[in-house]
Amino acid sequence: MKLLVTLMMWCLHDVAAVWRKKAEHKTWINNVILPARDRQQHDGLAQCVEDGSNGSEYSGTISVTASHHRCLSWNISKHLQIIYGLGSHKYCRNPDNSPMPWCLVRRNKLIVREFCKIPRCEVKPTNSLRHSETLKQDTETTCGKRIQKRIYRIVGGVKSTIESQPWVASIFKGEAFQCGGTLITPCWVLTAAHCFPEGAKTSIHRFSVHLGKNAINETNLRKEQMFKVAKLVIHEDYTGNNYNNDIALLQIVDNSGQCAHRTHSVRTVCLPPPQQMLPSGSFCDIAGYGREKSNSVYFSRFLKEAQVKLISQKVCQHNDYYGAEVTNNMFCAASPIWTEDACQGDSGGPLVCEMNGRMFLFGVISWGHGCATEFNPGVYTKVTNYNQWIAQHTGLPSFTKGIMYPQKD
């Protein structure tokens, strides 16, 4: 008896190894696309396998294999049932990180494991009705919330995750990364005017905006949302020679006519009220995919974030710093020992400051002499000078009043 059990376990192991090898070359999951609303139809459990997943979260009720064999109850192998904590059912599962869910079947008097036919989940709902039924959007009152997930320690700074800065947008011209941006409403991204050197002649159809991206050259369809540019508004008074009014708006829309939907990797930031400024010395975060050194050829592959300290207007406009190069539509920030700074490629991205557990966008990364060099702080467009301008061009005054900003008693 003991020998038979050992033989059976060996067989199971052996056949499993063969199947694992086969599965590397062939997908056994039928190419059936389930609409998003059907994914969780059974007690809130996953009924399909997400793209890129091995189905370890699958908890549906399919109990036939890819080769049409009926699954046996898991209690046929007490050993597997116990080590994997499976019940006395016969549904396909992936308890051991196999390439996909599987179950035990009887073949030629032997009990072997076979992979199952599980429908793939739809990556994106196909019609806009279903889209709006299932997907949430941020509103004026849900902005600025994030899951802070720093991994470890722009120039200097720490490698970040998009969940820590879910409002960060990346703007591409064709295949080329162009600039950062910040999601301020589900349909609008705020960025820098100097990202569009062709000004009013810019052909917007060449641009795309990506949200939810952890790394520039990495596409994770489960996190990322991609958009075309429906409209570009460059500030009318932007002057390229001194970067005054370095601010622009992009209206975004996806292929099914929708704007950004709210996930852990995609959220809107809050706007502070008009003319609100924080005291100098306050620490804020900057984020971007820009260069890690001013002379570096490459952009940072990963999203990075750094903490910088706000510098008073008086100090930044002093001749030891930038003098009159810094206008009142700009402010400066730097790390106290000049080790962390925004750099080329971070332009257009956010400087955000926390107030009562929410993040508010105070600055758009604009310019600076070099990167992380002494007495040459980063210069940011002062967003709170533009609430009215943003309201006028987006038609969304409720997002620009700063209603989530803590009120003084």
* Minimum CB–partner distance for residue 238 and ligand 4AZ (Å): 15
Stretch that binds ligand 4AZ, among 28-36, 321-329, 342-350, 390-398 (CB under 6 A): 342-350
* Minimum CB–partner distance for residue 383 and ligand 4AZ (Å): 16
* Minimum CB–partner distance for residue 344 and ligand 4AZ (Å): 4
Of these, 63, 142, 312, 344, which contacts ligand 4AZ (CB under 6 A)? 344
Of these, 116, 303, 346, 383, which contacts ligand 4AZ (CB under 6 A)? 346
Q: What is the 3-state secondary structure (H, E, C) of the chain?
A: CHHHHHHHHHHHHHHHHHHHHHHCCCCCCCCCEECHHHCCCECCEECCECCCCCCCCECCCCCEECCCCECCCHHHCHHHHHHCCCCCCCCCECCCCCCCCEEEEEECCEEEEEEECCCEECCCCCCHHHHHHHCCCCCCCCCCCCCCCCCECCECCEECCCCCCCCEEEEEECCEEEEEEEEEECCEEEECHHHCCCHHHCCHHHEEEEECCCECCCCCCCCCEEEEEEEEEECCCCECCCCECCCEEEEEECCCCCCCCCCCCCCCCECCCCCCCCCCCCEEEEEECCECCCCCCCECCECEEEEEEEECHHHHCCCCCCHHHCCCCEEEEECCCCCCECCCCCCCCEEEEEECCEEEEEEEEEECCCCCECCECEEEEEHHHCHHHHHHHHCCHHHHCCCCCCCCC
Stretch that binds ligand 4AZ, among 130-138, 253-261, 311-319, 344-352 (CB under 6 A): 344-352
* Minimum CB–partner distance for residue 198 and ligand 4AZ (Å): 17
331 part of the interface to ligand 4AZ, by CB under 6 A: no
**CB-wise, 140 or 341, nearer to ligand 4AZ?**
341
Give how far Cα 223 sits from Cα of 168, 226, 263, 266, Å.
13, 10, 8, 8
Query: Closest-CB residue for ligand 4AZ?
Result: 368
Amino acid at residue number 56: S
**CB-wise, 318 or 369, nearer to ligand 4AZ?**
369
| Per-residue contact string for residues 223-262; x = within reach of ligand 4AZ by CB under 6 A | ----------------------------------------
**CB-wise, 282 or 344, nearer to ligand 4AZ?**
344
341 part of the interface to ligand 4AZ, by CB under 6 A: yes
343 part of the interface to ligand 4AZ, by CB under 6 A: yes
Active site residues: 194, 246, 347
**CB-wise, 249 or 365, nearer to ligand 4AZ?**
365
| Per-residue contact string for residues 290-329; x = within reach of ligand 4AZ by CB under 6 A | ----------------------------------------
d(C-alpha 389, C-alpha 183), whole Å: 16
* Footprint of ligand 4AZ on 362-391 (CB under 6 A): 365, 367-368, 371, 378
> How many residues sit in the footprint of ligand 4AZ (CB under 6 A)?
11
**CB-wise, 56 or 344, nearer to ligand 4AZ?**
344
* Minimum CB–partner distance for residue 283 and ligand 4AZ (Å): 17
Residues near ligand 4AZ (CB under 6 A) are 341-344, 346-347, 365, 367-368, 371, 378
